[in-house]
Structure 1
Amino acid sequence: MRELKDNEQAIEAEAAAWVVRLDAGPLDPAEQRAFEAWLERSELHAAAFTLARSTWAELGALHTAPRLAGTSAPLATSPRQRRPAALPPPPVSRRWVWRGLAASVVLAAGYSAYRTADPLVMLHADYRTAPGEMRTITLPDGSTAQLNTDSAIAVRYGASRREVELLAGEAGFTVAKAVEGGGRAFVVQAADGEVTALGTRFVLRRQDARVDVTVIEHRVEISLRDAATGTRQTAVLQAAQAVGYSEADGLGEIRRVDPERELAWLRGRLLFDRVPLSQVVAELNRYRRGRIVIMNPALAGRQVSGVFRLDDLPAVIDVIAVELGARVVEAPFVTALY
């Protein structure tokens, strides 16, 4: 359900961006083909564009209709009674009027375009980060949790174990030795699984019902409850190994990874090596309150390589656009690539 809602909001943001582009001037042949392909993807795409365009037309009509100062209704006149009209306001650029429209269209799509924290996550979280924010938390035993963008954890240290729950997003853990934790196990819960530290450093990333675990140093043990049978699946990960799990699919295949590459965010970087632009944009959107949308389907599969700084995301977008020969249109909360 959440994925469907996010998809609808993304389409509405893309529709808003297309109205921006169409208002800027005629499309060239490649842009026209891209626009037509986008419009024909589904009825939802067509409906979203119709709504954005009609809202823009209505705003344009409101702007041009004469009004009395201090009123919100168009000025009405009759042969029997004519009032002197107030001087018209200075002309306003359609581009500036559109900027207000773009904000309203995107905000109408819901909070995922301009994200705020899930209220339930806010209620249960002891520590959290906003989109684009990273934070390092020192836990009661001296262990640390490094929260990535838009992430949240709850801390529940008890007599028998040191427990942390990853409620949302991504976190890297550097675990104090058991003797420093009073001999208690260090356990991170996420979805229906538990990750027990058998060493010092590991990272969990939670996306809805799926969780990915990556070990940087030493080992962790993963335990996943099987809702159908009531049993538990277990696996031990070594350094430079990763695995994904979910209630629906169980434990996935253990795979070798390069932690320096996979977890570059821990150093304030994003690293891409021949990654499709669609995936790059999805990752960048995690670090922004607004949304980047790809207007040209031909761009989505173009590959991107590079190391980018998380503290300068506007420059990242510009660099990618130059490398791919794409254009960028900015509107409130929306950046369109075409």
Structure 2
Amino acid sequence: MNTEPVHPDPSTPDWAALQRQAHAWVREFATGKPTVADMARVKQWRGLSAEHERAWTQACRDWKALGAHAEAFAEQRPELARPRPRRIDRRVFLGAAASAFGTLAVVGVVRPPLGLWPSWREWQSDYRTATGEQRQFTLAHDIRLNLNTQTSVALRGQGDQPVFELVSGEAAVSAAGAACEVLAGQGRVLLTRGEVEVRRLPGDQVRVRCTEGSTEVWHPTRRITLVAGQQVTYDPNSMDDRVRPAPPVSAWRQGMVAFDDQPLSDVVDEINRYRPGRVVLMNDALARRRLSARVSVQALDEVVEHIERLYGASVRRVGDLVILS
């Protein structure tokens, strides 16, 4: 994060001051580019007193309500997402800029442009990974969560049958006898004994793979049972008519990224899930080229070099930003 909230004086009992500090933290988390160190610092701040924690909780509620209003506003005014270029008077522009900035900031919290930072729902999740990060969690009842890069999982229910929501990204969930449920998009995955991999795909699609045992996938249109080696995909409106074969384990769990005759537009999207910074593809003809490869998640710049050599692409680098044309 480039800016830093004002740090509180732990001895200050002023509730209004605590609220301002809490809102500063939440605003920076929602609209900046926070790091793991930032997360540790805000956790320490929250632990200074019960009042600090209460101020943080209230600030989160306020921003969550703001996000709900922004979503409703975006649905009512979709034209704001696709502004038409036009000539405007400079005085009109300067007068409108202040109010427009506030609107764009709110929309940016709900739908960050190009996925450059986590959305508010992702920040509200209980388990998260940053770009290029993978983490494992062992929970009650011997349930295990394995999170891939840029993944957010929220705990929606506890007790004898925990309920998790895959807010974004990709996760493997294993259960050794205790039932659990995974919510993803419009579907539910019920697991008692075995392992599944669930991924949120572009276009509100979800892919469910069963790698061990069996699992039930519930969708508003129908319900199916998957066994090890099978996968299915669904979107908000329908589920695949038939199950498809799946690999024994996904490449990411072996520290690899696999491309199987994929267009370079998809390849670049996948690289951006793992690589800090951004790779931008500016050439439509190049985007339609296809690539098959299997590389380490630590060596994704080699894919960019391969594209440069194989297709004669022009590559420009500005820090972590890579432009392909």
TM above 0.5, yes or no, is: yes
Deviations 1:285-326 (A, max 9, x none): 222453322233222222212211112322332233223332
- Letter of the 1:116 counterpart: W
The 1:259–1:324 alpha-carbon spacing in structure 2 relative to 1, beyond 3 Å, is farther
Larger radius of gyration: 1
- Aligned residue number for residue 209 of structure 1: 204
2:302 equivalent to 1:315: yes
- 2:175–2:192: 8 Å Cα contact kept in structure 1? no
- Aligned residue number for residue 92 of structure 1: none
Q: Within 2, Cα distance between the matches of 1:277 and 1:159?
A: 45
Deviations 1:102-154 (A, max 9, x none): xxxxx9xx94346211112212x111011221111111222211111111112
- Aligned residue number for residue 165 of structure 1: 165
- Aligned residue number for residue 26 of structure 1: none
- Aligned residue number for residue 121 of structure 1: 122
**Residues 189-338 of structure 1 mapped to structure 2, 5 A cutoff:** 189-207=183-201, 209-226=204-221, 233-260=222-249, 263-332=250-319, 334-338=321-325
Structure 1 gap segments, 5+ residues each: 1-43, 48-106, 179-184, 227-232
Secondary structure of the residue aligned to 1:176 is: strand
Q: Within 2, Cα distance between the matches of 1:174 and 1:135?
A: 14
Q: Within 1, Cα distance between the matches of 2:251 and 2:294?
A: 9
Secondary structure of the residue aligned to 2:301 is: helix
Structure-1-length-normalised TM-score: 0.59
The 1:300–1:156 alpha-carbon spacing in structure 2 relative to 1, beyond 3 Å, is closer
- 1:214–1:259: 8 Å Cα contact kept in structure 2? no
The 1:318–1:204 alpha-carbon spacing in structure 2 relative to 1, beyond 3 Å, is same
The 1:198–1:160 alpha-carbon spacing in structure 2 relative to 1, beyond 3 Å, is closer
Deviations 1:216-255 (A, max 9, x none): 11211011135xxxxxx21001111111112222455311
Q: Within 1, Cα distance between the matches of 2:223 and 2:188?
A: 9
Secondary structure of the residue aligned to 1:283 is: helix
- Aligned residue number for residue 142 of structure 1: 142
Deviations 1:169-200 (A, max 9, x none): 1101122223xxxxxx2211112211111432
Identity %: 33
Secondary structure of the residue aligned to 1:316 is: helix
Instruction: Return the structure number with greater helix share.
Output: 2
Runs of 4 or more above 4 Å deviation: none
Q: Within 2, Cα distance between the matches of 1:297 and 1:192?
A: 32
Secondary structure of the residue aligned to 2:309 is: helix
Structure-2-length-normalised TM-score: 0.61
- Letter of the 2:259 counterpart: F
Structure 2 gap segments, 5+ residues each: 1-81, 86-107
- 1:114–1:289: 8 Å Cα contact kept in structure 2? no
Query: Size of the alignment, in residue pairs?
Result: 221
Q: Within 1, Cα distance between the matches of 2:120 and 2:296?
A: 30
The 1:113–1:189 alpha-carbon spacing in structure 2 relative to 1, beyond 3 Å, is closer
The 1:225–1:323 alpha-carbon spacing in structure 2 relative to 1, beyond 3 Å, is same
- 1:221–1:236: 8 Å Cα contact kept in structure 2? yes
The 1:191–1:327 alpha-carbon spacing in structure 2 relative to 1, beyond 3 Å, is same
Q: Within 2, Cα distance between the matches of 1:159 and 1:144?
A: 15
- Letter of the 1:142 counterpart: D
The 1:294–1:156 alpha-carbon spacing in structure 2 relative to 1, beyond 3 Å, is closer
Deviations 1:6-33 (A, max 9, x none): xxxxxxxxxxxxxxxxxxxxxxxxxxxx
2:155 equivalent to 1:155: yes
- 2:154–2:165: 8 Å Cα contact kept in structure 1? yes
Pairwise CA distance, 1:157? 5.0
Q: Within 2, Cα distance between the matches of 1:283 and 1:313?
A: 10
Secondary structure of the residue aligned to 2:299 is: helix
The 1:276–1:259 alpha-carbon spacing in structure 2 relative to 1, beyond 3 Å, is farther
